[in-house]
């Protein structure tokens, strides 16, 4: 049974891995035996996080701005220069934007949709060959990090964020159908309230947020790591094109 969740010898790349949910997932993959590369836009923060995570297992920093085509190409090239295969890709890098309906700017659409929706597709495309190489021994995995805001309506006016995450959930299904032909299994995770820079309410007002969650708490690191490990490991090999919601039940009461 322990082998079901083992990631020994597996090679992983986590975007947005220097903090928040990406870092939670990176730490979990490391604890299960994977070698993990993390990417983030700010090189200093990425390097520092990788150095800290290296106390758990082999973790390497590959700074890149994956919100641009050039950044995607640079990250794919940097990874390919170091490894001959990729077993686990976690498309976590994301952005949010909130503004009243009458004031919501176009740049609040372009930045968010490019990073949250286009980047997971084009980064996976750029790493397709390495993922196929990883799938030679056992299924390679792509995990797209969506959000419960793509499933149910958040009262906040985050129009482009909600739309991009809903789109990512559906994109996951379309990608899954194509890539399973190559031995690459694609799924999505929808986190609820986890303390992070993006979810400052969960970070700074945890008790108030927890009161609105059926589980009566916000998510902790192991909740997110456990879900990602399940999808990344042998245990998740037959789960294809699915969205796993990790939210303490809040979707049920929105």
The single residue of 37, 159, 161, 238 carrying the catalytic annotation is: 161
Cα 87 to Cα 11, 78, 175, 236: the distances in Å are 5, 16, 16, 13
Query: How far from the centroid of its chain's Cα atoms is residue 38's Cα?
Result: 11
Q: Is residue 214 within 8 Å of residue 253, measured between CB atoms? A: yes
The DSSP symbol for 127 reads T
Contacts 24+ apart (CB under 8 A), 153-159: 153/254, 154/254, 156/98, 157/98, 157/99, 157/100, 157/101, 157/104, 158/96, 158/97, 158/98, 159/101, 159/104, 159/108, 159/109
The number of beta carbons lying within 10 Å of the beta carbon of residue 216 is 11
* 244: Cβ contacts below 8 Å, ≥ 6 apart: 187, 188, 189, 190, 227, 230, 231
Rounded to whole angstroms, the Cα distance separating 148 from 151 reads: 5
88-91/140-145 β-pairing: parallel
* β-sheet with 140-145: strand ranges across: 59-61, 35-39, 11-15, 88-91, 140-145, 184-191, 243-246
* 230 assigned to active site: no
Q: Which helix (H) or strand (E) holds 13?
A: strand 11-15
Q: Which two tokens stand for residue 34?
A: 């994977």
List active site positions: 161
């Amino acid at each position: 049974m322990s082998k079901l969740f083992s990631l020994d010898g597996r090679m992983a790349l986590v975007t947005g891995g220097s903090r928040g949910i990406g870092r939670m997932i990176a730490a979990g993959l490391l604890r299960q035996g994977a070698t993990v590369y993390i990417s983030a836009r700010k090189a200093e923060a990425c390097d520092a996080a990788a150095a800290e995570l290296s106390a758990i297992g082999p973790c390497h920093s590959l700074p890149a701005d994956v919100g641009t085509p050039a950044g995607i190409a640079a990250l794919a090239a940097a990874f390919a220069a170091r490894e001959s295969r990729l077993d686990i890709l976690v498309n976590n890098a994301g952005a949010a934007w909130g503004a009243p309906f009458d004031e919501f700017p176009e740049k609040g659409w372009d930045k968010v949709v490019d990073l949250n929706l286009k980047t997971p597709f084009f980064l996976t495309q750029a790493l397709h060959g390495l993922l196929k190489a990883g799938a030679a021994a056992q299924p390679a995995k792509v995990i797209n990090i969506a959000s419960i805001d793509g499933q149910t309506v958040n009262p906040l006016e985050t129009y482009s964020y909600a739309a991009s995450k809903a789109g990512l959930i559906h994109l996951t299904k379309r990608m899954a159908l194509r890539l399973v032909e190559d031995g690459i299994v694609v799924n999505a995770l929808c986190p609820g309230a986890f303390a992070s820079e993006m979810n400052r309410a969960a970070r700074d007002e945890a008790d108030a947020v927890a009161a609105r969650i059926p589980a009566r708490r916000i998510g902790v690191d192991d909740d997110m790591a456990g879900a990602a490990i399940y999808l990344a490991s042998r245990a998740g090999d037959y789960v294809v094109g699915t969205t796993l919601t990790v939210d303490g039940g809040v979707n049920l009461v929105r």
